[in-house]
Amino acid sequence: MKKMFAFLRSMTFGMILLCGVLLCSFAGSMIPQQQTAMHYVNLYGERPAMAILALGLDDVFSQPYFIALMAALCLNLLLCSVLRVRSLRGASERLRRRALEAKAVPISAEQAQALHAHFTGRRWRQAQEDGRTVFSAHMIGHYGSFLTHLSLLMLLVVGGLVLAGAEVIDRTVMPGSFIELDDGARVSVQDFRIEDETGRLDFMSTVQITAPDGRQSAWTPIRVNEPLRFGAYKVYQQTYGTAGSVRVTNEATGGSEAVALTEPVFLTLDGVNGVFFQMLYAGYIQDAEGNFTLIGSTDGEYDDPVYDVRVIAEGETTAVLAFPGDELSVGGVRFAFEAPVAYPGLRIKRQSGVLLGALYASFVLITAALYVCFFLRPVCVAVGDEGYALASPKQQMGLQLEIEGVLGVSVKEGEKR
Partner 1 sequence: MRDACFFGALIVYFAATALQMIGVALRRRKAVSAAEKVFVAGLALHTIYSVWRGVEAGRLPLANQFEFASGFGWACAVLGVFLHARMKQDWVLTVSAPAAFLVTSYAAFQPMEIKELMPALRSTWFGLHIGSAAFSYAAFAIAGGLGVYYLFKLSKGEDPASHAMRQADYMAYRMICLGFLLLTVVILSGAIWAEQAWSSWWSWDPKETWALITWIIYAIYLHQRLRMNWQGKRMAILAIISLISVLFTFAGVNILLPGLHSYA
Measured from the CB atom, the residue of 119 and 203 that comes closer to partner 1 is 203
**Minimal distance, residue 371 CB to partner 1, in Å:** 6
Candidate residues 47, 54, 218, 225; the one interacting with partner 1 per rule CB under 8 A: 225
- DSSP 8-state code for residue 174: -
Given 14, 331, 340, 378, the residue binding partner 1 (CB under 8 A): 14
Stretch that binds partner 1, among 37-45, 135-143, 207-215, 369-377 (CB under 8 A): 369-377
Asked if 55 contacts 64 with a C-beta cutoff of 8 angstroms, the reply is no
Q: Is 301 in the site for partner 1 (CB under 8 A)?
A: no
Of 8-16, 247-255, 282-290, 327-335: span binding partner 1 (CB under 8 A): 8-16
Beta 228-230 vs 220-223: how paired, if at all? unpaired
* x/- letters, 43..62, toward partner 1 (CB under 8 A): ------------------x-
Measured over the CA atoms of residue 31, residue 36, residue 41 and residue 43, the dihedral's sign is negative
Residue 266: other Cβ atoms inside 10 A: 11
Interacting stretch for partner 1, rule CB under 8 A, among 45-53, 206-214, 233-241, 267-275? Answer: 233-241
- By C-beta, is 21 or 75 nearer to partner 1? 21
Please identify, among the stretches 176-184, 221-229, 297-305, 337-345, the one whose residues bind partner 1 according to the rule CB under 8 A: 221-229
Among residues 236, 237, 244, the alpha carbon closest in space to that of 194 is found at 237
Residues 6+ apart with CB under 8 A from 120: 126
Ramachandran category for residue 109: left, alpha or beta (phi over 0 → left; psi -120 to 50 → alpha): alpha
Tell me: does residue 224 bind partner 1 (CB under 8 A): yes
Distance CA 174, CA 190 (A): 9
In terms of Cα–Cα distance, which of 171, 201, 206 is closest to 190? 206
Q: Nearest Cα to 295, choosing from 303, 287, 322, 43?
A: 303
174-213 residues in contact with partner 1 (CB under 8 A) are 200-203
Name residue 258's beta-bridge partners: 247
Q: Please report whether residue 162 would count as binding partner 1 according to CB under 8 A.
A: yes
Strands 274-281 and 265-268: antiparallel
Nearer to partner 1, 223 or 247 (CB): 223
Task: Determine the interface stretch with partner 1 among 29-37, 85-93, 100-108, 277-285 (rule: CB under 8 A).
Answer: 29-37
User: Phi and psi dihedrals of 212, rounded to 5?
Assistant: -55, -30
- Binding to partner 1 by residue 29, rule CB under 8 A? yes
Q: Whole-angstrom distance between the N-terminal and C-terminal Cα of the chain? A: 54
* Closest distance to partner 1 from the beta carbon of 40 (Å): 16
Q: Is 223 in the site for partner 1 (CB under 8 A)?
A: yes
Which x/- pattern over 383-402 shows residues binding partner 1 (rule: CB under 8 A)? -----------xx-xx--x-
Instruction: Determine the interface stretch with partner 1 among 12-20, 94-102, 125-133, 335-343 (rule: CB under 8 A).
Output: 12-20
Per-residue CA distances from 225 to 11, 204, 237 (Å): 40, 11, 8
Residue 205 β-bridge partners: 192, 222
Number of other residues whose CB lies within 10 A of the CB of residue 270:
9
Find the shortest distance in angstroms from Cβ 56 to partner 1: 14
Segment interacting with partner 1 (CB under 8 A) among 44-52, 131-139, 317-325, 405-413: 405-413
Q: Of the two residues 262 and 351, which places its CB atom closer to partner 1 in the complex?
A: 351
Binding-site member from 226, 251, 327, 385 for partner 1 (CB under 8 A):
226
Q: Least Å distance between CB 229 and partner 1?
A: 10
Could you give the 3-state DSSP secondary structure of residue 18? helix
> How far apart (Å, rounded) are the C-alpha atoms in residues 56 and 47?
14
Sheet order of strands, 306-313 included: 265-268, 274-281, 306-313, 316-322
Q: What CA–CA distance (Å, rounded) separates 359 from 156?
A: 9
Q: Binder to partner 1 among 236, 240, 281, 307 (CB under 8 A)?
A: 236
Which CB sits closer to partner 1, 131 or 199?
A: 199
**Chain residues in the site for partner 1 (CB under 8 A):** 11, 14-15, 18-19, 21-22, 25-26, 28-30, 33, 61, 159, 162-163, 168, 200-203, 223-227, 234, 236, 238, 347, 349, 359, 363, 366-367, 370-371, 374-375, 394-395, 397-398, 401, 404, 410-412, 415-417
